[in-house]
Amino acid sequence: MSGIARDVALLALGVLLLGAVPLLSPPDYAMHVFITMALTALAGTGWAMMGRFGLVSFGHGAFLGAAAYAMALLWNEAGLTPWLGIPIGVAVAVAIGMLLAYPAFRLRVVGHYFALVTLAAGEIVRILIVALRDHTGGSLGMTPVQAPPGQQFLAMQFDKTGFWWIALIAWAGGLLAWRLLDRSMSSKALAAISEDEDAAASIGIRVTREKMKVTVISVALAGLAGALTAQYRQYLNPESLAGLGISLQIVFGAIAGGMYAPFGPTIGAIITIGLDEALRIGFGTEFTGGAPLVYGLLLVLFMLFLPRGIAGLFERRARRAAAKPAAERATA
């Protein structure tokens, strides 16, 4: 069996197994945590698609928000079903991403500067959502209109089991996109670009085009995660779906898990969401500052001691294991 067919089969098997979790009738709260983890993992996977090639975005929250608000506004104001609204929302996010990324890549805005341009773009989207308060509810947030009885499917308003399946499929789609990118020439080209843009261009790599490709994939996954999160929560808020806070949170999850391994952002999502919930239960509502405190401390410690994330630990071990037989062969 060829590599990609095996990966697809493994992913499908994984989704089927995880999809059976509701059969064990876990408590609603556990399902809520699992769904949140899957959707956060999707957003982190999207971010890491760019991040691992040195395209560090501090504005991915904007893409979550753009897709989510486009979808919700289409449902509330035009009655368009989220089944169509989500693809349109993702397209809106991708359009914004391309509008921003194309000139940035053409004019070679890189490194710190690229990060700050995306940060500014993220803030613009957040402020626009707040400013359009007649439609979006401003900083108070908005709720999608409840579907009339019998039309839940059209409105994509499911119970936790239904959303768990949707979230799982979306998450697996993100991993598949990662795998497909890894197998394509684009990933080699992007690796070369992140090492040295001039050298990559001089051997005939189309720098802007390759960067645009990975940006479109990354933004689409983030947009999908944003729209699904909004649809699952049935609540949209500019702070939790756009702006610097959520953008940094996505980055933290991907970094903590490890952005160079396909499962890294997923590990990161399990850790960050698990940590969020543990802190919320541990500290209660009286010590609201406890969560960000621990969060930030961990971010600093990760940067100091584990810059390649948790997945980096396994990576090192795997590489050592791979290196050993080779060394033995060499000495034999």
Q: Select from 16, 30, 108, 199 the one that contacts other proteins (CB under 8 A).
A: 108
Least distance (Å) between residue 229 CB and other proteins: 21
Nearest alpha carbon to residue 100 among 192, 196, 216: 216
Rg (CA), the chain: 20
Task: Kindly report the number of other CB atoms within 10 A of residue 279's CB atom.
Answer: 18
CA–CA separation, 104 and 95 (whole Å): 14
Interactions with other proteins, residue window 210-249 (CB under 8 A) = 244-245, 248
The answer to whether 68 contacts other proteins (rule: CB under 8 A) is no
Helix 28-51 to helix 60-78 angle (10° resolution) is 120
The answer to whether 109 contacts other proteins (rule: CB under 8 A) is yes
Q: Select from 252, 253, 264, 265 the one that contacts other proteins (CB under 8 A).
A: 252
Least distance (Å) between residue 96 CB and other proteins: 12
CA–CA separation, 101 and 117 (whole Å): 10
CA–CA separation, 109 and 268 (whole Å): 28
Stretch that binds other proteins, among 76-84, 182-190, 303-311, 324-332 (CB under 8 A): 303-311
DSSP SS3 for 142: strand
The answer to whether 120 contacts other proteins (rule: CB under 8 A) is yes
Q: With respect to other proteins, which residue has the nearer C-beta, 22 or 290?
A: 290
Q: With respect to other proteins, which residue has the nearer C-beta, 4 or 107?
A: 107
Least distance (Å) between residue 28 CB and other proteins: 29
The answer to whether 329 contacts other proteins (rule: CB under 8 A) is no
Stretch that binds other proteins, among 16-24, 29-37, 110-118, 179-187 (CB under 8 A): 110-118
The answer to whether 281 contacts other proteins (rule: CB under 8 A) is no
The answer to whether 292 contacts other proteins (rule: CB under 8 A) is yes
Q: With respect to other proteins, which residue has the nearer C-beta, 6 or 135?
A: 135
The answer to whether 96 contacts other proteins (rule: CB under 8 A) is no
Question: What phi and psi, each to the nearest 5 degrees, are found at residue 262?
Answer: -55, -35
Interactions with other proteins, residue window 151-190 (CB under 8 A) = none
Stretch that binds other proteins, among 30-38, 107-115, 148-156, 177-185 (CB under 8 A): 107-115
Tokens (6 digits) for 232: 């699952």
Q: Select from 143, 146, 184, 288 the one that contacts other proteins (CB under 8 A).
A: 288
With CB under 8 A as the rule, give the number of residues binding other proteins.
47
Task: Kindly report the number of other CB atoms within 10 A of residue 76's CB atom.
Answer: 17
Residue recorded with tokens 């945590």: 33
Amino acid code (one letter) for 207: V
CB 69 within 8 A of CB 238: no
CB 133 within 8 A of CB 69: no
Q: Select from 20, 27, 112, 321 the one that contacts other proteins (CB under 8 A).
A: 112
Residue recorded with tokens 């085009």: 209
Torsion of CA 217, 221, 226, 228, to 10 degrees: 140
Largest interatomic CA distance in the chain: 75
The answer to whether 141 contacts other proteins (rule: CB under 8 A) is no
CB 100 within 8 A of CB 210: no
The answer to whether 307 contacts other proteins (rule: CB under 8 A) is yes
* Sites of contact with other proteins (CB under 8 A): 54, 56, 100, 103-104, 107-109, 111-113, 115-117, 119-121, 123-124, 127-128, 130-131, 244-245, 248, 251-252, 255, 287-300, 302-304, 307
